[in-house]
Chains A and B, each alone.
Chain A
């Protein structure tokens, strides 16, 4: 079974802090994604990466950046956390999204106070 592991299940951070959310997958997938999930808004794409050191903006990249130094790890960075970034963050990976779909991590529920 493909495993996508997010480092923290719950996280509480203060406004203005720099926050790192880590995601690791163990199946050599090229494609990795960060989504945020909010009630009534579904899953919205923040950033994705289709190769090491490659990244592309999704639909809501403002206030976020990403890092992909190794194939298995995709990090989401909140440069200066704000209360409107309180959300559930989901990482996903895929070998070929239109053949195998995504495998999601368990999510990190981030609260910014």
Chain B
């Protein structure tokens, strides 16, 4: 069935360093890939997304890259700050026409001051 694998499950970085989270999806027909950030005790919030006709998208310190051939997409956070500490979820849309997502299992990012 459809599946999204996400790695690593936990990631610790020093403040100011970069963080990279990687996801792999199984359905080659998936065409939309959002990333959500969930701070402790709060709701997941959309931070960036990418569509299958684009290879890279940036928004200030965050960027997402997509390799359709390999069915990989990655979240890159540069110059990390303590407020980046959160759980990050990747997702892939299912092309069934009903717009549901399959989520990865999440990455807990800790930015050490």
Choose from B51, B99, B104 the contact partner of A42 (Cβ within 8 Å).
B104
Number of A-B pairs, beta carbon distance below 8 Å: 56
Q: Kindly state whether residue B73 has any CB partner on chain A within 8 Å.
A: no
Q: Kindly state whether residue A96 has any CB partner on chain B within 8 Å.
A: yes
CB distance from B54 to the nearest CB of A (A): 13
Q: Is the CB of A97 within 8 A of B101?
A: yes
Choose from B49, B89, B99 the contact partner of A43 (Cβ within 8 Å).
B89
In this complex, which of A42, A45, A48, A104 has the most chain B Cβ atoms within 10 angstroms of its Cβ?
A: A42
Q: Kindly supply a per-residue 1/0 record for chain A positions 6-50, scoring 1 wherever the CB is within 8 Å of any chain B CB and 0 otherwise.
A: 000000000000000000000000010101000011111100101
A residues contacting B by CB (< 8 A) are: 31, 33, 35, 40-45, 48, 50, 56, 58, 90, 94, 96-98, 101-107
Q: Can you list 17 residue pairs at the A/B interface with Cβ under 8 Å? A: A31-B99, A35-B103, A40-B9, A41-B105, A42-B6, A42-B104, A45-B100, A50-B99, A90-B44, A97-B100, A102-B36, A102-B101, A104-B36, A104-B44, A105-B43, A106-B43, A107-B43
